[in-house]
């Protein structure tokens, strides 16, 4: 999608008329149909379902006041405590917001990224973009199994 110029959350929300259309037309529009680029019928259907979920979430985000496209700028607080962006990225605050917004239970730790990953993705979102972070930069919030207990 980015190669086609769709780089913001708003672009994702408005690319199709509905999330269902994204599921139905997405495989053809984005070239992930069966036997194309290594996709099987099952993986193509799964990816289309994930696209539906992403479009649904993007539409929800686009309707939240203050989350619209900021044309590449981040609003920073001038308070001595740091930026409003960094303050809003407290893990507890994000978990509470997620639970209230989506009416779900607290996300499990293995489903969450590290604090650094969350801040990086949030910076993309604040600019109105869907962040692309290479797999080699993804860090889990959980420590590796063989590292033992972390020192404090």
Selected residue with higher pLDDT from 144 and 49? 49
SS (H, E, C) 27-44: HHHCCCCCCCCCCCHHHH
Q: Is 99 in a helix, a strand, or coil? A: helix
Instruction: Indicate if the pLDDT at residue 16 is higher than 90.
Output: yes
Q: Is 129 in a helix, a strand, or coil? A: strand
Instruction: Indicate if the pLDDT at residue 115 is higher than 60.
Output: yes
Q: Is 116 in a helix, a strand, or coil? A: helix
Residue written as token pair 């919030």: 141
Residue written as token pair 């109105």: 128
Q: What is the pLDDT of residues 57-105, one digit of tens each?
A: 888 887 765 555 433 333 333 334 444 444 456 778 878 887 888 888 8
Instruction: Report CA-CA distances (Å) from 13 to 18, 27, 39, 117.
Output: 8, 16, 24, 23
Check residue 80 and give its pLDDT.
43
Q: Is 8 in a helix, a strand, or coil? A: strand
Q: What is the pLDDT of residues 44-56, one digit of tens each?
A: 999 999 999 999 9
Check residue 91 and give its pLDDT.
76
What integer best gives the mean pLDDT of the chain? 76
**CA within 13 Å, CB half, 41:** 0
């Amino acid at each position: 999608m980015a190669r086609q110029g769709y780089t913001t959350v708003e672009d994702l929300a408005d690319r199709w008329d509905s999330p269902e259309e994204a599921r139905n037309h997405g495989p053809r529009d984005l070239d992930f149909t069966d036997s194309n680029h290594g996709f099987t019928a099952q993986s193509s259907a799964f990816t289309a379902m994930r696209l539906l979920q992403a479009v649904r979430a993007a539409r929800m985000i686009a309707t939240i006041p203050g989350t619209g496209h900021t044309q590449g700028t981040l609003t920073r607080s001038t308070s001595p405590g740091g930026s409003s962006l960094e303050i809003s990225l407290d893990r507890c605050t994000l978990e509470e917001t997620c639970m209230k917004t989506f009416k779900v239970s607290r996300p499990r730790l293995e489903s969450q990224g590290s604090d650094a990953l969350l801040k990086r993705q949030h910076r993309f979102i604040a600019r109105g973009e869907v962040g692309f972070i290479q797999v080699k930069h993804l860090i889990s919030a959980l420590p590796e199994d063989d590292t033992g207990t972390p020192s404090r």
